[in-house]
Amino acid sequence: MKKIGILINDLNFMNSHRNYLTKIINELNTDCEVREFSFGKLFNIFLWLLNCNYYWAISPKTSLILSMIPLSSKRKIITFSGFGTIGFMNKNLLKFIFHVVRVFNPNISVTTQNNNDTVFFKDIGFKKVINLGGNGIVENNYLSKVTNTDIIFVGRLLNQKGISDFVNMKKIIDNQIPENNYEWKVYGLIDKKNPSSWTSDQIELAKTKGIIFCGFESNILQKMANAKLLIFPSYREGLPKTIIEALSVGLPTVGYDVPGVQDILSFNRDILLENKPKNYYGLADKSVKILTNQKLWSKLNLQGRTNFTANFRKEITIEKNRDFLKSILN
């Protein structure tokens, strides 16, 4: 039986799609094994990969590492879900790095999650580039209501995720909608491994401004169904699952017009997307228009659920991955 070795930077990020990937791989009469990357275990990882027939790196960091390991490039798969931290590098340097990757791996397969990244790799000259989209989610029965009062942020507390923008927007919106009863809630945690992570002191300061920090939430769909608006001010993404979850419950969402976010919210670009990243004043203006117009809110509620059903259900993601893996294994 063929075996795929899946290399990941953090096993926690693999949990969201390990089950369906493993199921697809097994359906194709192939085995798989997942390992977390560590520089200290690089030699052991190399020996492990030698016993695999195919090699799949699912994160920007591990994809770069795998591309440098002397193994058959036609059996390598690298996945870039928004580039992560390296996406904020100088663009010319980033292009140079991947030109080198392509030269040493002429037959490598590249998977992406958004159109921007797909074009990036094709322009460099990679032969096999496919946009698999995000992970998708299972349809659910939750439904957001126009009478809700929570305004929420969902994600890790990182500067590049726009947590500071979210906090700053509260004062702007409170000034434009006086005497409102909105509760500003954050669902997410500090990421101490990430250099752009917030600190405990920053959280305490934000609390004095009326922000409620709720920590990690295992049933985020329920919290979204209880919310009136999701503010997603990230500066760059792969294909954010958080927005897909919001669409599934009909929760209107605003964000910056950046890779990943634009792939999901372009169905109503003028209303939902602020075209200048980091311009949280513009994002606040868009939020106010939605919060103060019940007819518009209800329209976005329906549009979101329709867009989710047509494009982001789990079944669609599974089929894309199945077709891709068939093409590789055959």
Do 181 and 125 share a structural domain?
no
Residue 173 lies in a domain: yes
Distance of CA 29 to the CA centre of its chain: 30
The CATH number assigned to the domain holding 172 equals 3.40.50.2000
- The structure's pTM equals 0.91
- Alpha carbon distance 175, 196 (integer Å): 29
Residue 108 lies in a domain: yes
Judged against a pLDDT cut of 70, whether residue 10 lies above it is answered with yes
pLDDT in tens, 145-177: 999 999 999 999 999 999 999 999 999 999 999
Do 162 and 18 share a structural domain?
no
Do 121 and 16 share a structural domain?
yes
Do 171 and 131 share a structural domain?
no
Residue 272 lies in a domain: yes
Do 260 and 208 share a structural domain?
yes
Mean pLDDT of the 257-263 span: 95
Encoded tokens for 178: 């006086």
Domains: count for the chain: 2
For 65, the domain range is 2-136+314-329
Do 200 and 176 share a structural domain?
yes
Residue 217 lies in a domain: yes
Name the residue with higher pLDDT: 156 or 18.
Answer: 156
Residue 232 lies in a domain: yes
Do 297 and 155 share a structural domain?
yes
**Strand spans (E) along the chain:** 2-8, 30-36, 54-58, 76-80, 109-112, 128-131, 150-154, 183-187, 211-215, 227-232, 253-256, 273-274
Q: Residue 60 carries which DSSP code?
A: H
Do 127 and 41 share a structural domain?
yes
Model confidence at 187, pLDDT cuts 50, 70, 90, reads: very high
Residue 144 lies in a domain: no
Distance of CA 35 to the CA centre of its chain: 21
Residue 145 lies in a domain: no
pLDDT in tens, 205-252: 999 999 999 999 999 999 999 999 999 999 999 899 999 999 999 999
For residue 155, how many other CB atoms are within 10 A of its CB? 21
Residue 85 lies in a domain: yes
